[in-house]
Amino acid sequence: MIQIDLNGQVAVVTGGSSGIGLACAQLFLRAGASVAICGRDTERLAQAEAALSAKYPDARLLARRCDVLNTEDVSAFAEAVQARFGRTDMLINNAGQGRVSTFADTSDEAWREELDLKYFSVIRPTRAFLPMLRDAAGSGNAAIVCVNSLLALQPEPHMVATSSARAGVQNLIKSLAVELAPQRVRVNSILIGIVESGQWRRRYAKEAQPGQSWDDWTAELARKKNIPLGRFGKPEEAAQALFYLATTLSSYTTGSHIDVSGGVARHV
């Protein structure tokens, strides 16, 4: 990976206690940035903070419990970042899981929950951190990057609510990019396919045949799902795309996305 010095810059990562968010936090710390992470699970967040501090003992790190759907939580998180670091240069919006459901079996409540999660996990952190990002834009780099799904462009009928919400979020990201460009705040996204996660590990523990390794189980599933690269993505692979879009490595890129789906995308 191209090396870049992020000393003096601050990266905020929501959903930073595991998976893609945690991998992203590591990349920013390795590059010298100050990093603030948040998550809903207090125990998991503490474990992430301990692991990052052990790996990067000189790191400037803030970990705070925060539900990104709670306005007060998000405001308090932004205030804590302001108090600790005095600025925010990069915001990674990374929250939300997929909902498996068809149109026929998705209730009104489920629709509302899905739309609320996908939209407001972007809207509330963006709103809270935007003043600091605007201030950072004057010193050379201010960026928002959202973790979205390939479902935004390539919907699946068994994930109808998630697909619809993801498409709307991608539209929102494009609109934000246009609105914030004159303020020199860039807005981009990554579109992920299947990426290794705790959720998949738990499914492996339940479904794998006796003696079947994780690599063999995921490779078989990748074949069934027609993933051209024949495997799941790794959190660090998605994190590297986020890192690129968040830093001056992509200084002339806004309103765009990077496909991190292993070749699943069928559109040109």
* pLDDT > 70: percent of the chain: 99
| 35 three-class SS | strand
Residue 164 lies in a domain: yes
Q: How many domains does the chain have?
A: 2
What would the two tokens of residue 49 be?
Answer: 């903070």
How do residues 4-38 score in pLDDT, each as one tens digit? 999 999 999 999 999 999 999 999 999 999 999 99
On whether both 227 and 244 belong to a single domain, the answer is: no
Q: Which residues, 6 or more positions from 258, have their beta carbon under 8 angstroms from its beta carbon? A: 188, 189, 190, 191, 241, 244, 245
Looking at residue 2, its pLDDT comes to: 54
On whether both 220 and 176 belong to a single domain, the answer is: no
On whether both 240 and 108 belong to a single domain, the answer is: yes
Residue 1 lies in a domain: no
Looking at residue 199, its pLDDT comes to: 84
Q: Which residue, chain included where needed, has tokens 């929250």?
A: 95
Looking at residue 59, its pLDDT comes to: 92
Residue 186 lies in a domain: yes
On whether both 55 and 105 belong to a single domain, the answer is: yes
Residue 167 lies in a domain: yes
The phi and psi torsions of 184 (rounded to 5 degrees) equal 60, 35
Looking at residue 83, its pLDDT comes to: 98
Inter-CA distances, 222 with 231, 246, 267, Å: 5, 29, 19
E strands of 113-160, at which residues? 143-149
On whether both 77 and 134 belong to a single domain, the answer is: yes
Cα distance between residue 126 and residue 122, in whole Å: 6
Q: How far is CA 235 from the centre of its chain?
A: 10
Terminal alpha carbon distance of the chain: 27
| Buried b or exposed e, range 170-203, using 16+ CB within 10 angstroms | bebbbebbeebeeebbbbbbbbbbbbbbeebeee
Looking at residue 267, its pLDDT comes to: 83
On whether both 66 and 164 belong to a single domain, the answer is: yes
Cα distance between residue 218 and residue 213, in whole Å: 9
On whether both 215 and 200 belong to a single domain, the answer is: yes
On whether both 149 and 248 belong to a single domain, the answer is: yes
On whether both 65 and 108 belong to a single domain, the answer is: yes
Inter-CA distances, 4 with 1, 58, 249, Å: 9, 18, 8
Q: Which residues, 6 or more positions from 2, have their beta carbon under 8 angstroms from its beta carbon? A: 249
Residue 2 lies in a domain: no
On whether both 175 and 151 belong to a single domain, the answer is: yes
- State which residues form the domain around 249: 10-195+234-259
242 residue type, one letter: L
| 190 three-class SS | strand
How do residues 103-129 score in pLDDT, each as one tens digit? 999 999 999 999 999 999 999 999 999
Low-confidence stretches of the chain (pLDDT < 50) are: 1
Looking at residue 116, its pLDDT comes to: 94
Residue 5 lies in a domain: no
Whichever domain contains 243, its CATH number is: 3.40.50.720
On whether both 203 and 132 belong to a single domain, the answer is: no
On whether both 48 and 154 belong to a single domain, the answer is: yes
| 94 three-class SS | coil
Residue 226 lies in a domain: yes
Residue 3 lies in a domain: no
Looking at residue 217, its pLDDT comes to: 95
